[in-house]
Amino acid sequence: MQPGRSEQGDYAAIAALESRIAHGEAMLADSQRMNQTYAAIIQDHERKLAGAASNIADLQRLNGGYASSLQEYEQRLANAQARLADAERVNAGYVQLIREHEQRAAGAGARLADAERMNAGYVQLIREHEQRAASAGARLADAERMNAGYVQLIREHEQRAAGAGARLADAERMNAGYVQLIREHEQRAAGAEARLADAQQRSAAYVEVVGGLERRLAKTQERLDAHGQPLQRPLPLSQRQIAFMHVAKCAGMALSAYLRQMMAPCRVIDGLHALDRLDADYVRSMDLVLQHFSFEHTKKLRKDHFLFAVVREPVDRVVSFYANIRTRETGMEAEFPELVRACRSFSLAEFVKIDDPKLRVWISNHVARQFANDARVYDEGDAGELARLAIAHASVFDYIGLYEDFSNSLNILQYLLNWPLVDRLPQANVTIERPSVDTLDAGLVEKIRELNAADIALYEYAVDRHRQVLHGLRPFIDLRRNVLELRNR
C-alpha 328: how far from its chain's center? 32
In angstroms, the CA 320 to CA 310 distance is 15
Give 170-228 pLDDT, tens digit per residue.
667 766 766 676 676 667 666 656 655 655 565 455 445 445 545 544 554 444 555 55
In angstroms, the CA 49 to CA 56 distance is 9
As a whole number, mean pLDDT of residues 366-379 equals 94
**Taking a C-beta distance cutoff of 8 angstroms, is the pair 362, 377 a contact?**
no
Cis peptide before 265 (omega within 30 of 0): yes
Q: How high is the pLDDT of residue 194?
A: 63
- Is 438's pLDDT higher than 50? yes
Give 18-45 pLDDT, tens digit per residue.
888 888 888 888 888 888 888 888 888 8
What crossing angle do the helices spanning 65-220 and 453-488 adopt, rounded to 10°? Answer: 50
As a whole number, mean pLDDT of residues 270-298 equals 94
Give 228-251 pLDDT, tens digit per residue.
554 444 333 346 899 999 999 999
- Is 284's pLDDT higher than 90? yes
As a whole number, mean pLDDT of residues 404-409 equals 96
- Is 460's pLDDT higher than 50? yes
Average pLDDT of the residues of the chain: 82
In 3D space, the residue among 363, 368, 9, 417 whose CA is nearest the CA of residue 244 turns out to be 417
- Is 440's pLDDT higher than 60? yes
- State which fold the 221-488 domain adopts: Rossmann fold (3.40.50)
pLDDT above 90 coverage of the chain, percent: 41
Q: How high is the pLDDT of residue 114?
A: 83
**Taking a C-beta distance cutoff of 8 angstroms, is the pair 448, 351 a contact?**
no
Burial class (CB within 10 angstroms; exposed 0-12, middle 13-18, buried 19+) of 283: buried
Q: Tell me if residue 292 falls in helix, strand or coil.
A: coil
Q: In what order do the strands lie in the sheet with 268-270?
A: 268-270, 288-290, 242-245, 306-311, 399-402
Burial class (CB within 10 angstroms; exposed 0-12, middle 13-18, buried 19+) of 49: middle
Of 286-295, 423-432, 461-470, the least confident: 423-432
- Is 319's pLDDT higher than 90? yes
Instruction: Write down the pTM of the prediction.
Output: 0.54
Q: How confident is the model at residue 162 (pLDDT cuts 50, 70, 90)?
A: confident
Domain layout of the chain by residue ranges: 5-137, 221-488
Q: How high is the pLDDT of residue 48?
A: 83
Q: How high is the pLDDT of residue 234?
A: 39
In angstroms, the CA 34 to CA 110 distance is 38
As a whole number, mean pLDDT of residues 307-334 equals 92
Q: Which of 21-25, 299-303, 429-433 has the highest mean pLDDT?
A: 299-303
- Is 422's pLDDT higher than 70? yes
Give 77-119 pLDDT, tens digit per residue.
888 788 878 878 877 887 788 788 788 878 878 887 887 888 7
Task: Choose between 440 and 145: higher pLDDT.
Answer: 440
Task: Choose between 275 and 64: higher pLDDT.
Answer: 275
β-strand 306-311 against 288-290: which pairing, if any?
A: unpaired
- Is 158's pLDDT higher than 80? no
Give 114-142 pLDDT, tens digit per residue.
878 887 887 787 788 788 878 777 887 77
In angstroms, the CA 198 to CA 191 distance is 11
- Is 259's pLDDT higher than 70? yes
